[in-house]
Amino acid sequence: MSEPSVDTLIVDFDGRVPYDRYVEATTLHSLQRPRTDDPGEMSFLVVSQIMELYFRLIDSELHEAQRQLRAGEIWSSLAPLRRAALHLEGLDASWQSLRWMTPADFNRFRAQLGDASGMQSAMYRRLEFRLGLRTASLIRLFKRDVATHRELLRSLEEPSIWDDTVAVLAAHGHEIPRAVLDRDFTLEHTPHPAVEAAWVAIYSDDGPDNHLRILGEALAEVAERFGEWRYHHLSAVRRAMGAKPGTGGSSGIGWLERSLARAVFPELWSARTHM
C-alpha cells in the first residue's frame, strides 16, 4: 500500500498539530532530562517513565473492575480485568530494554539518583494497595507531599479488589464470616479457610454460566502477570547491582525477595490444592 500523498493530508491546523494536542507527545518528550552524558541513563529514564504510565493504566482498569463488582456486575468486570492482564504483559516487557545493564553500566549514572528509588513511586504503591498488598508505613515517604499522601491514605483505607471479590462471594451465598467482610482495610487481608472453601466450591462447577469461576480465572491472570513483573524486577536489580543496598535506603534484593513472596489473591491459589 502506497503512502498517502501530501496533497491528500490535512496539513493546515490552527495551532498545534491535533495528534500532539491529543497525545501530548511534545510534553512527553520533554520529560527526559538525563544528568550525565551516558546514553544508558536515557534508557533508564524512559523505561522508568513508561512503567509509571503503565502503573496508572493498570490501576485505572482495576478500579473499573471494582466499580463493576460493587454493582454486582460480575460479567462486566471481566473486560477491565482482561485488559489489566494485557497491560501487565506490556509492563513486564519493559524490563527487556534494560537487560543490557551490568553493574558497570549502572554505576556510570547511579550516583545521580541520590536518594531516589523506585520504592518511592506513589502510583506503584497505589497499585499495590489496589491489589491488596498493604504496607501502611510506606506512605510516610510522602508526608511532605500533602496531596499525594492524602490520595495514598484514601487508597489504603478503601477495600482492595480482593476485598470486593470476597464480598461478591458472600453476596452469592458463600459463607464468609462477618469479620472477614467488615475489617480494617488498612491491614493486609489474612487468608481465611472460608474464602478458600468458597473457591473450591466455585471451581467444582465447570458450567458455562458460572461467572464466579470465570472471574476467578481473570483474577488469576492478573495475579500471575503481576508476579512475573515482580520477578523480572528482582532479576533486573540483581543483574544491575547485585546485592548492594538500594538507593532509597531499602535492602535492595532482600526487599524485593520479601515482596515477591507476598501472594496476590492468596486463597485463589491455595484453593487449587483442594480441587
Q: Is 89 in contact with 221 (CB distance < 8 Å)?
A: no
Judge whether 233 is annotated as a binding position: yes
Residues 240, 223: Cα–Cα separation, whole Å: 26
| 230 is annotated as contributing to ligand binding | no
What whole-number distance in Å separates Cα of residue 116 and Cα of residue 118?
7
Residue 210 identity (one-letter amino acid): N
Confirm or deny that 63 is annotated as ligand binding. no
Residue list for the binding site for heme: 233
Q: Which residues are annotated as a binding site?
A: 110, 233, 247
Q: Which residues are annotated as a binding site for substrate?
A: 110, 247
